[in-house]
Chains A and B, each alone.
Chain A
Amino acid sequence: MSHGYSPFPDHPYDRMHSDNIVYYGGNPYVLNNATVDALIEDYLSASPAELAEAARLVQVAAKYNIPYIPLFLSDDTHAIRSEWTNYTIKPGGIFTTFNPQTVVFMTSSVDNSLFVMAYSSDIGEMNPLFWRSERSHWYNMLVYDTLLSFDNESNLIPWLAEDYAISADGTQINFTLRTGAQWHDGLPVRPEDVEFSINYYKNGPSDVNDWPTFQHITSTSVDGQVITINMDQTMAFAPHIFGTQMYVLPEHVRDDAPQNDARWDDPTNGTAHTGSGPYEFDSRDPDEFTLVTKFANWWGPTNPYVGQLPNIDAFRIDVVIGQDARILAMRAGDADSERYEVFGAYVNVVLNAPELTLVTGLASQWDYVLGFHLNVTEPGFPGLGISDFRVRKAMSHAIDRAQLVNIGRLGHGRETHSIIPETFYASLYHPDGDFWEHNTTIANNILDAAGYLDVDGDGVREYPGVVLPPPPPNLILIGIAGAVALIIGIVISYFIFRMRKG
C-alpha cells in the first residue's frame, strides 16, 4: 500500500488506532489494541513539551505490535525543463502543497513569464475548504495563504502570520497577523478575516477538510493583530492544522454564501476566487487549463522567510493526460514540469531527453508500507496467521527493503524503518522504534518456535497443530482384493447354481 505523508506526523492515528477499523476500502489494517490506542491518544494530545517522548512511545508500540511494516519512500523523481533552477528542496519533493517556497523562488535562465504545470487529470474542485486531491490542494496553495508554513526541516515558520505562540498546556494558540497584507481585490487582510475563516471552517458542513479538529475550538478572539484560538483540549498538531491547513479567506467575499456554495467552484466567477496568495486567479477552462497570474501586492517581501515576490509572472495548469504526452509537451516547451513524479521506465526517458532535468536524491511524500488485514482470521485458527504477532514479526525480519526499492522504484527510493521515518520527520523520529533487522534466519526461527511448520514438505508452512493426514489408501491393493472377491463370488455362485440344478 502507499500513502502520502503530510508535513506533520499525525498519520499513526489513521493507520494504527482502532477507531479506524473499517470494513470497506481504505484502512482495514489497523490494530485493535487498547494500549496502543491510548499511546496514540496521548501522542495526539501531547503538549509541546511532551510530544517527543509521546512520539517515541508510539514508534516503539508500532515496533512491538506491527500494525503494518514500513518499507520505503519513493524518490521525488520529478521531470522539469532544464532552464528552471532554485526550486526548494524539501522532504516530500519540490512541488508539494507544503512547499510554496518553490513557487516563489524558482527562476528560469530563459524566460520567467510563464510556468506551465502539466496535470494528469484536472483539478477536481477549486473551493479550498473541500480539496479532495493534492492536485486541487496545490492550486489552492497558489491562490490562498496559510498563516504558517514549513522550513526545509518541517519546522513551522511564519507565513501570512508574522508570529505564533502556543500556551504551555497547548490549549491556546495565538497567531499574529502580518500588517500590510492585501487581498487580490486590493482590500487589506484584517485579523477579523482570520477569525472569520476559523469559524467558517468550524461552522461548515462536516466534510470540510479538518472539520473535526475545528470542533475542539471553544472560542476565538481578536486583539489588535493577534488572533486567539481557545480549545477544549490539547492537540499536538493543532498549530499545524490551523496554521498550515486552513486557508485564510476574505470575509467580505465569503460571508454571504455557505461554505459549499456552487460559486466557489465556478470558473466564470472571478471574484469568488479572491485570496491573498502569491498568485491570483485569472481564467480556467475545465479539463483544459487553469491560469493564475502574479499578485503584485503580495506580502512576500515583508516576510524574512520569503523576502521577495515570486519570480514567475504566471502559472498555468494544463491537463495533459498521458505520461508520454506530458514528456513530449515538456520537451516541446509546451509544459515546464508535471504535477507528479515520473515512474518506472519513464525515468530513463526523462534522463535521455536533453531538454529535461530529473530531480533526484530527494524523498517524495509517497510512502509504501506492507499492510495487513488484521480483522480476518482463518476459520479454525483464531489468533493465528496474520493476526499472530510472531508471524508479523517474522515477516518484518524477512523483508529486504533494499531489494524492494530496486525492484519497485529502480533504485529511486529510500528505505524506512520507523513509522515516523527520519527522512521525513527528523525531529520526532526515534531510533527506539526502528523495525526488526533484515535476517531470514531469525524469521525462520521465529516461525519454527511458534509451531508454523512445513508438515507436508511442499515449501509452505502450515498452521500450528496441523498434522499430516493419513496416507491415501493403496488403490492397487484395493483393486486386487476386489478382483479376488469377485472371482470367489463367481465360483461360489457357480457351485450353488449347479447344486440347485443337480
Chain B
Amino acid sequence: MSVLRIEDLCTHYFLGEDQVQAVDNVTFDIAESEIFGLAGESGCGKTTAAYSIMRILPENGAIVNGRIFLDDEDVVVKTEEEMRQLRWRKVSIVFQYAMNAFNPVLRIGNQIVEVMLEKQSIDKEEATKKAKELFDEVGLEPERIRDYPHEFSGGMRQRAIIAQALAAEPRLIIADEPVTALDVIVQNKILGLLKSLQKKYQLAVLLITHDLSVVAENSDRVGIMYAGNLVEVGTTVNVFKESLHPYTYKLIGAFPSVKGPKRRLEFIPGTPPDLIRPPSGCRFHPRCPWAQDICNLEVPEYREYEKNHWVACHFAGEINFEVEP
C-alpha cells in the first residue's frame, strides 16, 4: 500500500484573469519507507506539488483537479479543519529555508513541543522530554532546546527542523530542498542523517531538489518534472541510466558528475515556458531537438513504458540520444 498517491493533480495560481498552470496532470505514488526524489529546474512545480499535498498553498493557489491520497484518505476533499488535524500527523515538511522556518522570538524547543501538544495527547513535560530525545537523535545537544533559532548555525538549524518534522511521528516527510542552503560537507551530513532516520523509522520521504546528484545518491525512485508536468518516473537506476524522456537526458547532461570521465557540460537551449500560456502538445517540444509535428499537436500520454518506468513522450524508446538531428 502506498503512503502517498497523487492522481492527475492540477494546481493553478490565479493572477487576476490569468491562471498559472504550475502543476498539471501529475500522477505518482510513494510506497512505505521509500525515498522518492522529485527533481526539476526551479519553477517547474515541485514545491507547488508539495504544498498541494499539505494544502498550504498561498491564497491565490488552488487544486483545480485531481486527487491526493494519504493512506487512502483523499486530502483534496477534506475541510480545512480536517486538513489541519491531518497535517504533521500524517505528513510533515522540512522547509527549504531552515533559516526562517523557526519563529525567531520563540525558543526552538517550545516550537517543537507546541506541535507535539497539538498533535499528540501528551503533557508538556513528556513533550519536552521527547523533544530532547529527538534533539539527541538528530545530533544536537538536548539541553539546547532552550536556545533561540539565531543561536544555531545553519546545519544545526536544519537538524532541528528535521527533529521537528519527526515530532508527531508522521509516515511521510516532505523534504523540500533540505540542503540547498548548506555547504557541501554539511549537506552530506544532513542527508546521511535523513537517510538513517528514514531507515530507522521506516519513513516515506518525498525528497524535492533541483540537485540531481542529491536525488541520484539518496532516492529509491525518481520523478522528473518539467513545466508543471511529470515527464518521467522510475527507479533511480532506470531514470539515470536509461532515460526515456529527452528532458531527463538533457538535464542529466547538464550536471557535472563527480565520478566517470570528464566531459563538457551541456546545456538545454531555450528557457522554461510561460505557464500561463504553456506550449501546446508536449510542453518540452520547443526545446526538444527530436521534436516532430505530433509533439506540437498532441499531449503525450503518461504511460508505463516498461515495468515501473513511466514516461510522457511520443517517442519514448525510439530516440537515439547520441545523435541530434
**A contacts B directly (C-beta below 8 A):** no
Q: Which residues of A contact B (CB under 8 A)?
A: none
Q: Which residues of B contact A (CB under 8 A)?
A: none
